[in-house]
A and B are shown apart, each in its own frame.
Chain A
Amino acid sequence: MTYYAIVLLLLFFMLPAEAGHKSMVQSQSQLCHDPQQPASLRCAPAPSATFDKQGRLWVVWSSGGHLYVKFSVDQGKTFSAAHVVNSVPEAISAHGENRPKIVLSEQGKIYLSWTTPLAKRYTGNVRFSYSNDNGLTFSTPITVNDNLDMTGHRFDALAVNKQGTVFMAWLDKRDRLQAKRKGESYKGAALYYSLSTDGGHSFAKNQRLMSHTCECCRVAMAIDKDNLPVILWRNIYDVNTRDHSLIKLRDNHRASKAVRVSFDNWQVDACPHHGPALSISQMIDGASEQEKKHSFYHLVWFNNAPERHGLFYKRMSDPNVLISDSKEFGELENGLAIPFGDYNKNASHPDVLSLDHQVWLVWKEFNGEADEVKLQYSDDNGETWQASVVIAITKKGSDHPFLLNDKNMIYLQWQTEAEGFRILPLKSYTQN
């Protein structure tokens, strides 16, 4: 089958989840601007989604000051009725880098987080709610940041481990505000962290993990095989070098030393609005004994330095664990970052998902006429990669692409202005 035939086929199959034909798409697009219409996932600017253990696809989005949650048992073709999370409306950040999040525990509890902007520019609080009854009802939202100054507590990241411990990290400007009150300057924001061991009823005292982070890029967080979180974010090094940093928690309350993971040297006093992504894999099938001892961190990011610009992929292990025979893992373990995507087509906003030896990368490009999502796949833990392929196209605006895992079946999630919320299985693109 030719490339173009594949693309046409995809355009046919990637029908919007809430609309079936073109005329309906057009009319629904108009409805999105009507405040009298009920909240529609199709109109949501920045939804998030995840699969639960039963294979149900859960989605959260915001509209009119409320968060809504619903699920699908048929990979997004049809959905349950939507449930309102917050009965009292509040402002909710919902854009590319800062959107409502949803995760589910092994025990089936639903956890949500989001940022509510406050009255002053660049300020906000990190908010949280949970459901213990399959999304029928949600707890009254609480504020996770224990500093309530009118300053930035934004760009929240959310994860839950197998024991049901909920972890949160976000970009926080309380230290910057303190510095300002003393007449001192402060670069960027700080990375703060908290966790809940009681199912989201309460969160621990906030802890600063890093000072001087970039202040408007999403934070990535994933759970390692020891059930502790790993966090990746854009940091500020030296005067204004915007490279990435990674930190691993040693236990629930103590962090290892943060390590710099990108060395592109993008020196810029600006908001990149372009955060990284992280996935952690464990070797199971056909792995060597050495491989089984470790988990592998798969990192993707964007930088725009004169010498090194575009999208980058890097694989690494826990930097705090000494790997005596790292050669067994190949050159990637030596810290080389691999460029991917077409810099001339605005390759941007990558996501990564790893499963055993398999790694998927997706990102957005613009071909001058339409937005494309491209996929690149590796079946040997990121050592070698298949050629990239266009897997979805839209003519109008689009959200960032995301990868989802449903019991080892991998899907693309992509919200587009013309087609709405879309889910695409990736299996057919990754078979040898």
Chain B
Amino acid sequence: MKKNTLVLTLLFFSLFSHSLSAMELKSFAKHTYQQLLSDYHDQAFILVLWSVDCPPCYDELTLLGKYLSHYPDRKMIFVATDSRQYENEIKKMLTTTLLEEQSIYIFSDVPEQHLRYAIDPHWYGELPRSYLFDACHNRKAVSGKMTWKMLDDFYVHTSLKQEKCQ
């Protein structure tokens, strides 16, 4: 029994570490924000900005992981505002919150404030910070944790309506 437990534990850690190393953190540079808008043209999505040094972010990621497990077709893009030295910590948090399969970015070497400014001059670094884009790419900024209802309201009542963009 003990032996089986040991084997299973080793197997788990082996798979976990393999999953960590396989996870790709794409670099979020100054132009990336505009690139994402172009890539997801006509598509509703949420851009989620977070950091390993932000206690509410962990709660946020946990909720979003559960939400996406229920609704895997709903698009979210995750951007860690940390530097590359925290890559392992970022990967661990994304794995434990079931988000490892999502589109994942990490802030590039450009100063953090400059990248924030490229997204939104009125975002001052508070985290978590999310931008909700409807299919017409009307943008709504949210500082702080989102709720399940907020996500439902956005995806069901806002983004899934097939309205013509003005």
- Partner-B contacts on A (CB < 8 A): 95, 121-122, 215-216, 240, 268-274, 302, 304, 309, 343-346, 348, 364, 366, 368, 371, 396-398, 417
Supplied contacts A302-B124, A348-B113, A371-B111, 10 more A-B pairs, CB within 8 Å: A268-B144, A269-B56, A270-B54, A270-B126, A270-B129, A273-B54, A304-B143, A344-B122, A366-B117, A398-B111
The chain A residue with its CB closest to the CB of B59 is A269
Task: Flag whether B57 is at the interface (Cβ < 8 A).
Answer: yes
Q: List 24 A-B contacts (CB under 8 A).
A: A121-B58, A270-B126, A270-B128, A271-B57, A271-B126, A271-B127, A272-B126, A273-B53, A273-B125, A274-B125, A274-B126, A302-B124, A304-B122, A304-B126, A304-B143, A309-B122, A346-B121, A346-B122, A348-B125, A364-B113, A366-B117, A371-B113, A397-B112, A397-B113
Closest to B112 in A: A397
Q: With A346-B124, A348-B124 known to touch, is A270 a contact of B117 (CB < 8 Å)?
A: no
The answer to whether A269 touches B125 (Cβ under 8 A) is no
Does any Cβ of A come within 8 Å of B72's Cβ?
Answer: no
Nearest to A344 among chain B residues (CB) is: B121
Assess whether A343 is in contact with B122, with CB atoms less than 8 Å apart: yes
With A121-B58, A268-B126 known to touch, is A240 a contact of B144 (CB < 8 Å)? yes
Return A312 CB to nearest CB of chain B, in Å.
13
A-B contact count (CB 8 A): 80
- 7 A-B pairs with least C-beta separation: A397-B111, A270-B144, A269-B144, A268-B144, A271-B54, A272-B126, A270-B126
Central interface residue in A272, A345, A396, A398, by most chain B CB within 10 Å: A272
Within 8 A of A (CB), among B109-135: 111-114, 116-117, 121-122, 124-129
Report Cα–Cα, A271/B127, bound state, in Å.
5
Interface centre among B52, B58, B89, B126 (most CB of A within 10 A): B126
A122/B126 in contact, CB under 8 A? no
Is the CB–CB distance between A346 and B116 below 8 Å? yes
Interface of A, helix, strand, loop or mixed by DSSP? loop
Residues of A within 8 A of B124 (CB): 272, 274, 302, 304, 346, 348
Closest to A394 in B: B111
In contact, A273 and B58 (Cβ under 8 angstroms): no
Instruction: Assess the A268–B143 pair: CB atoms within 8 A.
Output: yes
With A304-B124, A348-B124: A121-B52 Cβ-Cβ less than 8 Å: yes
Residues B72-115 near A (CB distance < 8 A)? 89, 111-114
User: In the complex, what distance in Å separates the CA atom of A122 from the CA atom of B55?
Assistant: 7
Q: How far is the CA of A396 from the CA of B115 in the complex (A)?
A: 12
B89: chain A residues at CB < 8 Å are 121
The distance in angstroms between the C-alpha atoms of A54 and B56, with both chains bound, is: 45
CA of A391 to CA of B121, assembled, Å: 22
Instruction: With A216-B53, A216-B54 as known contacts, state yes or no: A270 contacts B121, CB within 8 Å.
Output: no
Interface centre among B51, B56, B89, B124, by most A CB within 10 Å? B124
Question: In this assembly, does B145 line the interface, its C-beta being within 8 Å of a C-beta of chain A?
Answer: yes
Q: Are A346 and B113 in contact (CB under 8 A)?
A: yes
A253–B144 CA distance with the chains assembled, in angstroms: 36
Inter-chain CA distance A346–B111, complex, in Å, is 14
Q: By the criterion CB–CB under 8 Å, are A271 and B116 in contact?
A: no
Distance in Å: Cβ of B13 to nearest Cβ of chain A: 17
Contact call A271/B121, Cβ cutoff below 8 A: no
Q: Which residues of B contact A268 (CB under 8 A)?
A: 126, 143-144
A269 and B58 CA atoms in complex are apart in Å by: 12
Write the nearest CB–CB distance from A89 to chain B, whole angstroms. Answer: 17
Q: Are B113 and A273 in contact (CB under 8 A)?
A: no
